[in-house]
Structure 1
Amino acid sequence: MNIQHHNKQLSITKAIGIILVVIGHSGCPELLNRYIYLFHMPLFYMAFGYFYKESYIEHKKEFIQKRFKGLYIPFVKWGLIFIILHNLLGRIHLINVNGGGYETYYNLLMYLKAIRAVITLAMPECLMGPLWFLESLFVSSILLLLLDYIVSLVASGKKRRVLVFTITLILFIIAFITTDVLEIIFPRRLNRDLGCLNFIYIGYLFSRIQSRLSYKPLITALCTFLLFITAYIWGTISITDFSIRNPLITGICAIMGWFSSMGTAKLIEQHCGSLSDFFDYVGKHTITILIFHIPTFKLITLITIFVYNFPISKLASFPVITPTGLWWIVYSIVGVSIPLVTVWGIKYLKKGKALYTTKQ
């Protein structure tokens, strides 16, 4: 398979994306939330597609193994950890266990059901809610490889790319019709994963013409402004359940979000020195932040409980307690920084241990 070289601009773009994910879950102001949800998840699908290669169809086993290790294994591993801790988390009020379904204390049968759900790419645990993206990206990446392989049997070169793009666009529209119009939800939200193939492939196509794409400040500012205007006038979307409302507006917003984020990343890379290194570091640890920002939020929720004298049961609020004032800023800072500091600390301890062992 092709060796992928580090792309700092794209890494910073991923950092922008994951920071927006955290802010979107933090109870931020409504307009900001609408703006974020217009494009932040399509941005991640497109960033993933940016590194897709047509040659992967000649290395299918390696491709699948890499996606299995990088997406499926983290999803299942952390899902099982949250399941094991489920009853304990309920007793200390970190999750709600007073509802129905999986929101109750587990007995042996419920543990087995939850384990089966995670292994088959469902999400019974509320604290692993954001991990739906790992499941979706895993399924979508395998589907894209399959589609590309089938198309490669009948077409090559530009015709192959046009055909794959056309099919993913049709699937995008079908996913919209089944979800928003007919209100049909496929098992494991397969309609969402099929629809998002188009975002991934657009990212791949952008990578092929990267030298011709312009990320000038004016275009960056214009796309950002238009996204805010769209959020204010039209509203927003939800990729989680593929409630996109209008496929044309959603597609345009996804592309504007790409140019807005990549343009901002370019400015940071070129003019912000050490700050660009920080964003690059964030971009390298997006999955860590994705997994741990919701559990980290509980620290701030606990503080707000003491400050406002809320009942301790409010600690189970998901993803945050009822927004109050500027607490969303604190949630956002902690949701990004604590996972990063934890990762840095673990690496530092391992490095120190290895150095000590070598001296011995």
Structure 2
Amino acid sequence: MMTNRIAWIDYGKAIAIYLVVLAHTAIYKPAEAFIYTFHMPFFFFMSGYLFSFEKYPSYLQFAKRRFKQLIIPYIIFNILTYLLWLFILRKVGDDANEAVGIFSPLLAALVVNAKSMVHDIPLWFLAALFLVENLYYLLYKNEKYNVVVSLILFVLAFLNTTFNKSRLPFCIDIALVALLFYHFGSVLRKYGDKIFKPYLFVLSTAVVIAVFIFNGKVAMHTNHYNNIFLFVSGGAAGCYSMAYLSKKMYDIFGERKLVQAVARNTLIICALHLIVFAGLKGVMLYVFKIEPSILIGTFFPNVIFALISMVICLIICEVKDRLVKTRLYSATQ
């Protein structure tokens, strides 16, 4: 049963990271808004689905491990992408903007203000997930209070989004909402595969579509939800629908190395795909004499653009893995 769960999670991760990449293209705006309804909640949901208190009886052990897995990459990729932005992308390329102060992105990265992290906005998720997981460990350890904790978090999130128009540092405001999706994943895991029912999939998908229509464009990275009741409802429904689809895809196709490779490298794809975008647009313009602006507001060209970007990210991951293996082999000789 455990292997089965992990396998469908691989499909979930692969689909979700592709949706992230696709949503960051210049895709047709309604398609972008639809993806934003549920794709980031689904990432928090999957992390919660995989979490286990039994695996980490010690909070300190858990915090240290997640610091190495999330915050160290957050720091490394911020430095690398900031340097690329400072010396190249700030001056040339489709998204060049020399009006941005040279230290502004670094200051934004220190407090995890995604909107101002112009060098690599998607990195916000790593810091947010670290905070969410640590808070979850501390707040949800005693299971009998979980409902009360969730209600308090929702009330705090509602009050914050309603009365506080300023962003809180370190994604604290985002964490109030993300914890609900994380807990939803943890709860659903207890039911195993029996929770996946066709009629629930139809119902949850209908909810997602309704929320998309009535709640409009949301953006979790800026803590913008319009109606937070609708956002949480649509996000939770989207998590279920995505989980159901991922499970069904695993049932049909089984384990696939490509899916596993994408799932294994979601962090790197998240961190690098915007840099890859810039490189691809440069190739379009200077090699093929195609203006990148032709992508704006289209659907299928951006689907292809996102796929090519994913392939390039996977090639980078493969090169990285081989270099690491070569260094390890050399060190043992």
TM-score by length of 2: 0.85
CA drift of 1:41 comes to: 0.7
Aligned counterpart in structure 1 of residue 137 of structure 2, from 139, 145, 157: 145
Given residue 10 of structure 1, which amino acid in structure 2 is its aligned partner?
I
Identity %: 21
Q: Is the 8 A contact 1:176 1:244 kept in 2?
A: no
Distance in 1 (alpha carbons) for counterparts of 2:117 and 2:164: 28
Distance in 2 (alpha carbons) for counterparts of 1:205 and 1:339: 33
Q: Give the gaps of 5 or more residues in structure 1.
A: 150-159
Partner in structure 1 of residue 275 of structure 2: 295
- 3-state SS in 2 of match to 1:19: helix
Distance in 2 (alpha carbons) for counterparts of 1:137 and 1:352: 32
Partner in structure 1 of residue 301 of structure 2: 327
Kindly provide the CA deviation profile for residues 105-124 of structure 1, in whole angstroms up to 9, marking residues without a partner as x: x3xxx3xx755653454555
Q: Is the 8 A contact 2:81 2:120 kept in 1?
A: yes
- 3-state SS in 2 of match to 1:245: coil
CA drift of 1:225 comes to: 4.5
Q: Does 1:183 align with 2:165?
A: yes
Identify which range, 46-55 or 290-299, moves more after superposition. Answer: 46-55
Q: Give the gaps of 5 or more residues in structure 2.
A: none
Count, aligned residues: 329
Q: Does 1:172 align with 2:171?
A: no
Partner in structure 1 of residue 238 of structure 2: 257
Q: Is the 8 A contact 1:168 1:195 kept in 2?
A: no
Given residue 270 of structure 1, which amino acid in structure 2 is its aligned partner?
D
CA drift of 1:62 comes to: 0.8
Given residue 214 of structure 1, which amino acid in structure 2 is its aligned partner?
F
Kindly provide the CA deviation profile for residues 198-235 of structure 1, in whole angstroms up to 9, marking residues without a partner as x: 1111111111222441244x543553344234323442
Q: Is the 8 A contact 1:75 1:131 kept in 2?
A: yes
Q: Is the 8 A contact 2:27 2:295 kept in 1?
A: no
CA drift of 1:349 comes to: 5.1
Partner in structure 2 of residue 83 of structure 1: 82
Q: Does 1:98 align with 2:98?
A: yes
- 3-state SS in 1 of match to 2:140: helix
Q: Does 1:136 align with 2:128?
A: yes
Q: Does 1:242 align with 2:242?
A: no
| Superposition pairs of residues 163-242 of structure 1, within 5 angstroms | 163-216=145-198, 218-242=199-223
Distance in 1 (alpha carbons) for counterparts of 2:36 and 2:49: 21
- 3-state SS in 2 of match to 1:240: helix
Q: Is the 8 A contact 1:238 1:244 kept in 2?
A: yes
Identify which range, 243-252 or 4-13, moves more after superposition. Answer: 4-13
CA drift of 1:236 comes to: 3.6
The change in CA–CA distance for 1:6 and 1:29 in structure 2 (over 3 A counts) is same
Kindly provide the CA deviation profile for residues 243-274 of structure 1, in whole angstroms up to 9, marking residues without a partner as x: 22223322222222122111111221121256
Distance in 2 (alpha carbons) for counterparts of 1:252 and 1:121: 26
Q: Is the 8 A contact 2:28 2:298 kept in 1?
A: no
Distance in 1 (alpha carbons) for counterparts of 2:106 and 2:236: 38
Identify which range, 166-175 or 286-295, moves more after superposition. Answer: 166-175
CA drift of 1:27 comes to: 2.0
Kindly provide the CA deviation profile for residues 13-44 of structure 1, in whole angstroms up to 9, marking residues without a partner as x: 11111111111111222332222111111111
Structure label with greater radius of gyration = 1
Q: Does 1:118 align with 2:109?
A: yes
The change in CA–CA distance for 1:6 and 1:211 in structure 2 (over 3 A counts) is closer
Partner in structure 2 of residue 27 of structure 1: 26
Distance in 2 (alpha carbons) for counterparts of 1:20 and 1:171: 27
Q: Is the 8 A contact 2:85 2:119 kept in 1?
A: no
TM-score by length of 1: 0.79
Q: Is the 8 A contact 2:48 2:183 kept in 1?
A: yes
CA drift of 1:355 comes to: 6.9
